[in-house]
Structure 1
Amino acid sequence: MKDLFGRAILDYQTNNQPENLITETTISEEDEMDVSYLFRKYSDMPQIEQKALSLARGTVLDIGCGAGSHSLYLQNELNLTTTAIDISNNAIKACVLRGIKDARVQDFMTLQNEKYDTILLLMNGTGICGKLKKLPEFLQQLRSLLNPGGQILIDSSDIIYMFDEDEDGGKWIPSDNDYYGEITFNISYKGEKEKPLDWLYLDYNTLQNVAFANGLKSELILEGEHYDYLARLSI
């Protein structure tokens, strides 16, 4: 990986001529993303993110922290002990520059011997999983990182609305994927292209069923205006 997403974050943080990220997926056209959005304050965050942050308690693990805006709020405004992790070396450099006390380059799937009261996966947290078939392993790893009585706060969207309907009201879904929420994400920055990334959008019922099969209780906390939702998983 070229870490273009992280490079854009670090360029913005260090005022190094940041440009918009160009994103494209298997089901959507090319789009521009303003990097400043990743640096938003609590007041500018969507309701689902605000709700998740208000529910955080105890020691917190922020997985896929990006520019660290969620962790900063938890650390500075709520005085919660927060660990921010991301696989992006550049993003973590930006997090450290922003003042996050515990920011690490870390793939959460390899994290061991640590326990948390709250685990956060926001901005389509299920995306990190990549493929539906990996979901049981993904959830088992999250479960292993929870303290007794702990919680996982995760958001996603049901993207079924993006597919065309036939005359009977059914959906035309390409047969390439095992599940319609599996997409490929492409990112470009300053003329360079990143290696394609598997990304998973997950409908709530599927999350609930797979969570139950892996020893986790699921609770629908909040539904957004555009097929998105926040869920809480617990043992």
Structure 2
Amino acid sequence: MSKDILGKALLDYHNLKYTEDIIIHSSLGEDDILPIPYMYRGFDKMPLLEQIALQHSSGSILDVGCGAGSHSLYLQENEFDVTGLDASPGAISVCQQRGVMKTIHSEFLKIKDQKYDTLLLLMNGIGIAGKLKNLDKYLNQMKMLLRPNGQVLLDSSDILYMYESDDEDGGYWIPQDMDYYGEVTFTMEYNNEESEPFDWLYVDFNTLRRAANYNGLECELLKQGENDDYLARLTFI
């Protein structure tokens, strides 16, 4: 992640220099805010899907895109063998300072020669695939990292509602040059600094299930959220 915008914001908050949140510019046309304190939330403040995912975690766990380490810390406090993984050096530094015992500073696809019982990809962690065409590559990486009876726990959202038409006939308006409506490009802005644009994927459950099955994985819906989001579990067929 160029300029490590997220890492700088997390470090500022951890070092008591918090003055502003991250602004998210989106190809969907609407800016959003990522509140930095939210990245430090405890279990009781986490969304229900995240709580369920943590409660279903077992064995040795890889927390992919661990951010400030909130999920890793909860699991560690409950005596799980958890490793936090993030491509952001600032995020990894924060995790270490907060007490996460095992961390890896790396991109997900570069992890090799390691095996886990649970891969945890929360806060739409599958978004790191960027484009739907990359999903097979990421699913196969998951298979390489899983033990035979392992599982992947991930949440995502169906964002088709973002394209609802204002016409009286209803329906959806999706740009013709878009391969899949869940592909979004973001830019992060923080403290007068802006990241390079990066691609992020939101994948509806049926599309995820088809991709998983094609790649030799069973896809189970663990919980449907209230806002077109869901929690899924992937296991070997």
Provide the C-alpha distance between the structure 1 equivalents of 2:114 and 2:18, rounded to a whole number of angstroms: 38
**Which residue number in structure 1 is paired with residue 173 of structure 2?**
172
1:160 aligns with 2:160: yes
Same amino acid, percent of matched pairs = 50
Distance 1:132 1:124 in 2: 14
Alignment match, 1:231: 232
- The C-alpha deviation readout for 1:172-222, integer Å capped at 9, x for no partner, is 001222100001011100011110110000000000000000000000000
CA distance in 2: counterparts of 1:17 and 1:221, whole angstroms: 36
CA distance in 1, matches of 2:19, 2:59: 35
CA distance in structure 1 between the partners assigned to 2:19 and 2:115 by the alignment: 36
Alignment of 1:99-138 (within 5 A): 99-138=99-138
**In 2: Cα distance, 1:199 partner to 1:208 partner:** 19
Contact 2:63 2:84 in 1 (8 A): yes
Distance in structure 1 (CA, Å) of the matches to 2:183 and 2:71: 26
Report the 3-state secondary structure (helix = DSSP H, G, I; strand = E; otherwise coil) of the residue aligned with 1:79: coil
Letter in 2 for 1:82: V
Secondary structure at 2:226 match in 1: coil
- Match of residue 53 from structure 1: 54
The alignment covers a number of residue pairs equal to 234
The whole-number CA distance in structure 1 between the counterparts of 2:223 and 2:129 is 21
CA distance in 1, matches of 2:140, 2:212: 9
Query: Per-residue deviation at 1:170?
Result: 2.7
Deviation digits for residues 42-65 of structure 1 (CA, Å, limit 9, x no counterpart): 000000000000000000000001
TM-superposed CA distance for 1:111, in Å, is 0.6
- The more displaced of 177-186 and 19-28 is 19-28
Deviating runs (4+, > 4 A) in structure 1?
none
Letter of the structure 2 residue corresponding to residue 153 of structure 1: L
Q: Equivalents in 1 of 2:109, 2:75: separation in Å? A: 23
Partner residue in 2 for 1:32: 33
CA distance in 2, matches of 1:95, 1:18: 20
Q: Secondary structure at the match of 1:202?
A: coil
Contact 2:164 / 2:170 at 8 angstroms: preserved in 1? no
Tell me if the contact between 1:21 and 1:188 (Cα under 8 Å) persists in the aligned partners: yes
Residue 126 of structure 1 and its aligned partner are, at CA, apart by: 1.6
Q: Which amino acid aligns with 2:109?
A: M
Tell me, what secondary structure is at the counterpart of 2:180? Answer: coil
Structure 2 counterpart of 1:24, one-letter code: H
Alpha-carbon distance in structure 2 between the residues aligned to 1:231 and 1:108: 19
Matched to 1:12, the amino acid is: Y
C-alpha displacement of 1:164:
2.4
Query: Could you tell me which residue of structure 1 aligns to residue 93 of structure 2?
Result: 93
Q: Alignment partner of 1:52: what SS?
A: helix
Aligned-pair CA distance for 1:14: 1.3
RMSD of equivalent CA atoms = 1.0
C-alpha distance in 2 between matches for 1:19 and 1:94: 18
Instruction: Give 5+ residue unaligned stretches, structure 2.
Output: none
Preserved CA contact (<8 Å) 1:8 1:18: no
TM-score of the two chains, using structure 2 as the length reference:
0.96
User: How far apart, CA to CA, are the structure 2 residues paired with 1:155 and 1:6?
Assistant: 22
**TM-score, with structure 1 as normaliser:** 0.97
